[in-house]
Chains A and B, each alone.
Chain A
């Protein structure tokens, strides 16, 4: 199965910083992962860990100032998006990679009709499609995402739609691009469970029919289990664990990942009465992170080395990577501790 996979999007050591009054926010601090053709990759992690910034950086949509992509590569079909001139970047945006934004309430233009915004999306990259045809396709798309009476409502303005409906319009708009990569940033947060299921199924269907690769950002580990081939777990601007979904759920290697999985309520276990597991403490401030494992204050397996050095990446099994000192050899840990002590003495 893994052999015939071709990478469509490769993110290599991506770094995005924000200059703020309090200091430099290292929102994305060396993120690497690969999305293969037709594959669905989940990104999970607590609020503020840099999921949205990672994906906005892929599209080069970071507000600048204060944001800046300070390093790394984003290879689409082998070409570095970060080096492209404006005109070629436009060919990628909305055409090769399309994006569902996290904030449905503000991401649609309040001054333009839904129809205008949807039709322009289709016609922007498919110049031979006329308005009538684009309108028809937009209505179809709206129906697919479950907007009732789409023919009539397509000429409404965004403020005449509810939050959930606006989110569905955003989704319909992003899906109508027929892009090769779809980035969905918490696409179903404002939707109720039945519609959520319907939308996720639709994304899955489109991914299957058109071979679209999907990056799915979510808080919901249940959704990840159902949808994703691969999962990246983010913590404080870094990916701390990456594995195929089945492997990740069965053999979580990072203490943070196992914490996340344990904090999901389950119906099938005996001890229902017991309090839900939760990870103690707060995610760290990503300004001025010291060179140590960012998770160590909250980790129940903390060792000396965790406090003084950043954990490197280990491959616990094939295609299962983790950034954690638990998988280092004793010599390696001892060396890291000694190096850190030397640094301190200086």
Chain B
């Protein structure tokens, strides 16, 4: 197992290198540059700026320089937000997105699995229909509809929760609830459906019949015999789900004024802020790669048939 983990960790390095390289060159191929404005800058000023950011050097030299900085943990200066460098912007905003994402995924997991299992056990009962109904809603309503809808009901009409804002700017922890629920809804839907169908399939399997033939209680059968097998598809889904949560949060962060990383992802692209774009891409990739790695580990722990 340890060997497998080390192997997988080492395997991340080339993946990340490819991502960095690709994004480094792709942003430069895109038309426009960071300092093209409405008004063209005077020649000398532009030259000065480009010299300051080493943009006058041959592109391969820039690439080498950038790679060297990244390895040391420095993502470089932002071309647009000149007060601070990319590291600062990312590491002040990322924790907010992370909190939002983790809370959302936890909500989706807990309720998705709970509803999914109940729907499977009480197939064709009201709880099953409720779950499937919610699942259809969750999958079909887009984020930019569900967010404002929740704001309308729970903030403007009922006044139970703040309409927007974020706890880090002193607006209280209750600010997390609405954006997290909005973000979680679609994932809850998918997880509930996945859990229901895989639990139904597991409950029909021969080994569950064996457990029943032993005279085991239904609750014990579910917890001890059925859960592991039924959870495997959920675990596989968590990798892509996390990716979705992060990119999805761009919309939700806008709607709920969450000072997250999503804003920089969008803004930096409009601004051709090369370093900030690549910086955000690197952070997203690291999260994805690490998530996939964790998913594989959990999968291997659950399923003894997987050899590493």
State the majority secondary structure of interface residues on B.
helix
Contact residues in B for A205 (Cβ distance below 8 Å): none
Of B204, B207, B218, most A-chain CB atoms within 10 Å: B207
A124 with B206: CB separation less than 8 A:
no
When A112-B225, A159-B304, A159-B305 are in contact, do A107 and B206 touch as well, CB less than 8 Å? yes
B228 pairs with A90, CB closer than 8 A: no
**Contact (Cβ within 8 A) A157 B304:** yes
Give bound CA distance, A92 to B305, whole Å: 33
In the bound complex, CA of A121 to CA of B224 (Å): 13
Among candidates B210, B216, B303, residue contacting A111 with C-beta atoms closer than 8 Å: B303
Q: Does A226 contact B (CB under 8 A)?
A: no
Set of chain B residues within 8 Å of A95, measured between Cβ atoms: 215
Contact with B along A108-119 (1 / 0, CB 8 A): 111111000000
User: Which A residues are CB-close (under 8 A) to B45?
Assistant: none
Q: Which residue of B lies closest to A90 (CB)?
A: B215
Q: How far is B237's CA from A295's CA once the two chains are assembled, in angstroms?
A: 53
Q: Which residues of A contact B71 (CB under 8 A)?
A: none
Q: What string of 1s and 0s marks CB contacts (under 8 Å) between B122-141 and chain A?
A: 00000000000000000000
Bound: A95/B213 CA distance, A: 9
Q: Which of B207, B217, B302 lies in contact with A109, CB distance below 8 A?
A: B207
Partner of A110, one of B209, B215, B218, B305: B305
Tell me if B213 and A109 are in contact (CB < 8 A): no
Measured between beta carbons, the chain B residues less than 8 angstroms from A99 are 213
Complex Cα gap A159–B303 (Å): 11
Task: Return chain B residues, CB-CB under 8 Å to A107.
Answer: 206-207, 209-210
Q: Count residues of B near A (Cβ-Cβ below 8 Å).
A: 22
| Minimum CB distance partner of B229 in chain A | A111
Bound CA span A112–B224, Å: 9
Given the interface contacts A111-B302, A157-B304, A157-B305, does A103 sit within 8 Å of B206 by beta carbon? yes
Known contacts A108-B207, A109-B225, A110-B207; A93 and B304 CB within 8 A of each other: no
A63 at the interface (CB under 8 A from B): yes
Do the beta carbons of B216 and A90 come within 8 Å of each other? yes
| Contact, CB under 8 Å: A94 / B213 | yes
Q: How far is the CB of B100 from chain A (nearest CB, A)?
A: 34
Contact at A61–B209, with CB atoms within 8 Å?
A: yes
- Inter-chain contact B215/A94, CB cutoff 8 Å: yes
Question: What are 29 A-B contacts with C-beta separation under 8 Å?
Answer: A59-B213, A61-B213, A86-B218, A91-B215, A93-B212, A93-B214, A94-B214, A94-B215, A94-B216, A99-B213, A101-B209, A106-B207, A107-B210, A108-B207, A109-B207, A109-B211, A109-B229, A110-B207, A110-B303, A111-B302, A111-B303, A112-B224, A112-B225, A112-B228, A120-B216, A124-B215, A124-B216, A157-B304, A170-B210
Query: Which residues of A approach B to under 8 Å, CB–CB?
Result: 59, 61, 63, 86, 89-95, 98-99, 101, 103, 106-113, 120-121, 124-125, 157, 159, 170, 177
Q: Which 3 A-B pairs give the minimum distances between C-beta atoms?
A: A94-B215, A93-B215, A94-B214
